[in-house]
């Protein structure tokens, strides 16, 4: 396929895995039993991902309890009462709070990648959490004997190390999840917070040379959890000009669920830089109706009116289950949607003559 297509990341976990997690956390199952359930879920995810025809897959984030906090699992210097992120349906997700320094990672994304590569027959991409998201762990009142300046320095090098480990392990792409970008505009309409986030993430991206940045991308969306969003009411035009200031080679942009995608595409056309590839979202992950390949094709053809073909790709709007307890979309629906993305992208490529 000459028009690239890639997933975002997460796939709903099998019911058997979720049941085993509950048994393990209640003391009714062993760690060995849980690890076997994780491995079974990973093998099944890779197999079914490949059956969709997707030329690039992910591990489905089967072992991550959360796309945002996977580096922190098991740390003893965080509390659970950090910043809350409200979603439009009324539910909230709460980030942890750093209680003492130094900030460190307990787990790296490359571990998930290496597990998936054992079973995959096609390229595998890996998602990592952004420095800007993790910066929210540092409380406003500060941390005793650990300055924010020291925290940011440690954070930049830890996130950079997370990306580098994935590249070294053979990731097809490394995707930085930046779902807080649009939310930043909602929290601070002056966009000072957004620009602070962009500057921080660029400190990480600038650790890599231009060739390496061709394999690094940034994902943006208004959040997606239990079929709800946290910032879809924010005008995309307030985010995109600053988004393209990030020194990444690829951008994964939610679009299928956007109310006026043509208007957004015009903004992308205005601010897109040479050398940047846009993977346009053609699958609405918070709608359980499975898109037809023809609908996907139509969405790609619309995007091609505004984005040069050598800078265009397709993706899903978001992960299907960024938190392990999000079962609002079933595995069958998720894989059916992915297959529609692949087939629709192929149809569009044929129509476009590429």
* Span 19-23, average pLDDT: 96
Averaged confidence pLDDT in the chain: 96
pLDDT at residue 74, rounded to an integer:
87
Indicate whether 1 pLDDT > 60: no
Strand ranges inside the chain, DSSP E: 78-79, 84-86, 92-94, 97-98, 126-129, 174-177, 216-220, 250-253, 277-283, 312-316
pLDDT at residue 10, rounded to an integer:
96
pLDDT at residue 291, rounded to an integer:
98
Of 22, 42, 89, nearest in space to 232 by CA? 89
% of the chain surpassing 90 pLDDT: 95
pLDDT at residue 335, rounded to an integer:
98
pLDDT at residue 63, rounded to an integer:
95
Indicate whether 258 pLDDT > 60: yes
The pair of three-digit structure tokens given for residue 178, joined into one six-digit string: 């930046």
- Of the pLDDT bands very low, low, confident and very high (cuts 50, 70, 90), residue 62 is very high
What does DSSP assign to residue 321? -
- When computed from its CA atoms, the radius of gyration of the chain, rounded to whole angstroms, is 19
- What is the per-residue pLDDT across 194-246, written as a single tens digit (0 to 9) for each? 999 999 999 999 999 999 999 999 999 999 889 999 999 999 999 999 999 99
The pair of three-digit structure tokens given for residue 181, joined into one six-digit string: 């970008």
- What is the per-residue pLDDT across 156-205, written as a single tens digit (0 to 9) for each? 999 999 999 999 999 999 999 999 999 999 999 999 999 999 999 999 99
What does DSSP assign to residue 297? H
- What is the per-residue pLDDT across 287-331, written as a single tens digit (0 to 9) for each? 999 999 999 999 999 999 999 999 999 999 999 999 999 889 999
Alpha carbons within 13 A on the beta-carbon side of 155: 24
Dist CA 303 CA 255 (whole Å): 10
What does DSSP assign to residue 80? S
pLDDT at residue 146, rounded to an integer:
97
- Would you say 267 and 251 are in contact if contact means Cβ atoms under 8 Å apart? no
* Span 280-284, average pLDDT: 98
CATH class label, 15-352: alpha beta
pLDDT at residue 73, rounded to an integer:
86
């Amino acid at each position: 396929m000459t028009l690239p297509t890639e997933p975002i990341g997460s796939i709903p976990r099998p019911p058997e895995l979720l049941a085993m997690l509950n048994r393990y956390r209640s003391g009714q199952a062993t760690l060995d039993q849980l690890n076997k359930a994780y491995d079974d879920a990973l093998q099944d995810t890779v197999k079914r991902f490949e059956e969709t025809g997707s030329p690039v897959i992910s591990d489905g984030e089967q072992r991550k309890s959360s796309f945002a906090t996977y580096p922190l699992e098991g740390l003893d210097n965080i509390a659970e009462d950090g910043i809350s992120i409200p979603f439009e349906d009324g539910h909230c997700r709460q980030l942890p709070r750093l209680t003492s320094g130094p900030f460190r990672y307990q787990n790296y994304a490359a571990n998930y990648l290496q597990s998936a590569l054992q079973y995959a027959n096609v390229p595998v991409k890996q998602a990592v959490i952004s420095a800007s998201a993790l910066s929210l762990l540092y409380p406003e009142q500060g941390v005793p004997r650990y300055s924010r300046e020291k925290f940011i320095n440690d954070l930049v090098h830890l996130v950079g190390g997370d990306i580098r480990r994935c590249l070294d392990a053979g990731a097809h792409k490394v995707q930085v999840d930046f779902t807080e970008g649009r939310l930043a505009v909602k929290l601070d309409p002056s966009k000072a917070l957004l620009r602070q986030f962009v500057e921080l993430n660029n400190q990480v991206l600038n650790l890599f040379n231009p060739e390496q940045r061709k394999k690094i991308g940034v994902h943006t969306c208004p959040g997606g959890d239990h079929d709800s969003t946290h910032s879809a009411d924010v005008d995309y035009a307030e985010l995109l000009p600053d988004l393209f200031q990030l020194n990444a080679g690829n951008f994964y942009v939610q679009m299928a669920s956007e109310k006026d995608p043509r208007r957004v595409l015009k903004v992308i056309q205005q601010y897109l830089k040479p050398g940047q590839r846009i993977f346009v979202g053609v699958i609405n992950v918070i709608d359980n109706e499975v898109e037809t390949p023809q609908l996907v094709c139509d969405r790609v053809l619309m995007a091609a009116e505004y984005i040069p073909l050598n800078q265009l790709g397709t993706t899903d709007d978001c992960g299907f289950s960024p938190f392990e307890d999000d079962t609002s979309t079933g595995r069958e629906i998720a894989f059916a949607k992915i297959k529609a993305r692949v087939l629709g992208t192929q149809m569009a490529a044929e129509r476009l003559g590429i």
